[in-house]
Amino acid sequence: MNDSAVDTLAEARTESPSRALLEVPPGTGPLAAYERGVARGILHADPEQARAAKRLEVLWRAVGTYRPAPPQARAGGLLGSLKARLAKPPPPRPRGVYMVGQVGRGKSMLMDLFFALAPVPHKRRVHFHAFMQETHKRLHAMKAADPSLRDPIPPLARAIAADAWLLCFDEFQVNDITDAMILGRLFEYLFDQGVVVVATSNTRPGDLFQNRPGADAFRPFIAILQRELDTIELDSPNDYRRGREETGRIWLVPPDARAERELDRIFERESAGSPVQPVVLDVMGRAFDVPVAAGDVARFDFEHLCDRALGAGDYLALAQRFRVLIVDGVPRLGPDNFDVARRFITLVDTLYEQKVRFYASAEDVPDRLYERGEGAVAFERTASRLEEMRSDTWGTAAEADDTAVEQAQQPAGA
């Protein structure tokens, strides 16, 4: 096996679809692509993944012939009712898929494979954190543009559906009460607009946002998910993110003077001599200070980044502005500082999704940063992602795979 084949093999065993997986004849569905990947040794044979791929194949065939009814056919009022009676019945909307399982089981890889191959002109794949931040911004903008608008959710749902009627959400999770209060009505309208949803999550629908203040008000949304999506559990014993070779010093333990000097060298190398200066990011009209930055590299103390009231919007703005993030002094975490741990989880999710290179000094390896108490299960995904991000080839491989997915989405002859 030559070096390029070895690189392709290593990339394909992450959770994103590699170039090799997408090298399939036109009209190939996700099940055939998955089986081809197994036959070629690109993927390990996994019965749980195969079962999920079969369900995605059913959906892939359904969306190939499905088109939502035009908006006017769903319009309300007397005119809308008359048009609805005269028009052909809208096609039945295919049931979506909600894939749930532990970290690294291939959920995102399968969803992205489905997304890349789906014969749908209007589709979107987005991390759920990013989608909710965008939703808040759009609601804010709509209210500012028209103060008399009493309920912006229906027109927002129509706008989302007009852009893409196939929505694929990675890492579906609800931790914010504000998100919880919006989701039920927003998704009810999205489904009414004919939107088809595929999602990945580490949490079963019935367990989303439970044991939290406001959980009772969230249960109708859970009922909507269970009504509209088939839940597929991946119970594979393997975490496919593990085992990537770390060829450089990326996660430094302990956070001592030696680690600080190493991070100094990394900062100088990655910034390539760019001047060091503070940067201020605008997050929905609010200033987010980056005290140390040089070119597209930013550096923070852990406390400045995770021990104060920052959220997904701040981390997304950071990840979209900088290619490299360096953090000094990640501590061990636990139930006593769960809010801090939750911010760190959100930060890592955002960096991972945006393919940001991440260097850090820490009190322990990722697996031992948060071992017991509330949030320990959620942190397993974070530890798994950190282990994958420790590879020197992670950023390069992820960018190459993203390019392959984008090329697979282009129409023939583009």
Beta strands in 235-336 (DSSP E): 251-252, 277-283, 286-294, 297-301, 324-330
What pLDDT score does 389 carry?
A: 84
* Nearest-angstrom CA–CA distance, 381 and 346: 11
What pLDDT score does 327 carry?
A: 97
Is the Cβ–Cβ distance between 308 and 301 less than 8 Å?
A: no
Last residue in a domain, options 213, 239, 265: 239
Other CB atoms within 10 Å distance of the CB of residue 56: 25
What pLDDT score does 371 carry?
A: 79
In a domain, 186, yes or no: yes
Verify that 141 and 226 share a domain, yes or no: yes
In the sheet that holds 229-234, the strands lie side by side as 123-127, 166-170, 196-201, 96-101, 229-234
CATH (domain of 280): 3.40.50
Beta-carbon-side half-sphere exposure of residue 258 (alpha carbons within 13 Å): 5
* Mean pLDDT per 10-residue section of the chain, whose length is 414 residues: 30 49 87 92 89 96 90 51 59 92 84 94 90 90 91 95 95 82 92 96 86 79 93 81 55 93 92 89 90 94 94 91 95 88 91 90 92 78 84 53 41 35
Query: Which residues lie below 8 Å from residue 38, measured CB to CB, with a gap of 6+?
Result: 44, 45
In a domain, 36, yes or no: yes
Number of structural domains (the chain) is 2
Verify that 188 and 284 share a domain, yes or no: no
* Nearest-angstrom CA–CA distance, 283 and 280: 10
What pLDDT score does 262 carry?
A: 93
List the structure tokens of 131: 């989608």
pLDDT in tens, 241-299: 555 444 456 899 999 999 999 999 999 988 887 889 999 998 888 899 999 999 999 99
In a domain, 403, yes or no: no
Verify that 222 and 202 share a domain, yes or no: yes
Verify that 226 and 270 share a domain, yes or no: no
* Nearest-angstrom CA–CA distance, 102 and 239: 8
What pLDDT score does 85 carry?
A: 57
* Nearest-angstrom CA–CA distance, 197 and 92: 14
List the structure tokens of 180: 């919880």
In a domain, 348, yes or no: yes
What pLDDT score does 72 carry?
A: 52
pLDDT in tens, 209-237: 877 777 787 888 899 999 999 999 998 77
What pLDDT score does 211 carry?
A: 72
Verify that 188 and 161 share a domain, yes or no: yes
CATH (domain of 169): 3.40.50.300
Reference 197, options 311, 299, 377, 59; nearest CA is 59
What pLDDT score does 17 carry?
A: 53
Q: Containing H/E element for 357?
A: strand 357-362
Reference 200, options 171, 174, 227, 175; nearest CA is 171
Verify that 271 and 178 share a domain, yes or no: no
Is the Cβ–Cβ distance between 81 and 174 less than 8 Å?
A: no
Verify that 305 and 162 share a domain, yes or no: no
In a domain, 400, yes or no: no
In a domain, 280, yes or no: yes
Cα angle, residue 46 at apex, residues 205 and 392 outer, rounded to 5°: 90
Query: Which residues lie below 8 Å from residue 370, measured CB to CB, with a gap of 6+?
Result: 332, 333, 334, 341, 376, 379, 382, 383
Verify that 192 and 265 share a domain, yes or no: no
Is the Cβ–Cβ distance between 55 and 31 less than 8 Å?
A: no
What pLDDT score does 254 carry?
A: 93
In a domain, 15, yes or no: yes
Beta strands in 142-183 (DSSP E): 166-170
Verify that 347 and 377 share a domain, yes or no: yes
What pLDDT score does 59 carry?
A: 97
In a domain, 20, yes or no: yes
Cis amide linkage into residue 213, ω under 30° from 0: no
Is the Cβ–Cβ distance between 392 and 357 less than 8 Å?
A: no
What pLDDT score does 87 carry?
A: 59
Verify that 261 and 350 share a domain, yes or no: yes
Give the residue numbers spanning the domain of 49. Answer: 3-239
List the structure tokens of 145: 């543009």
Verify that 24 and 166 share a domain, yes or no: yes
Other CB atoms within 10 Å distance of the CB of residue 291: 12
Verify that 188 and 334 share a domain, yes or no: no
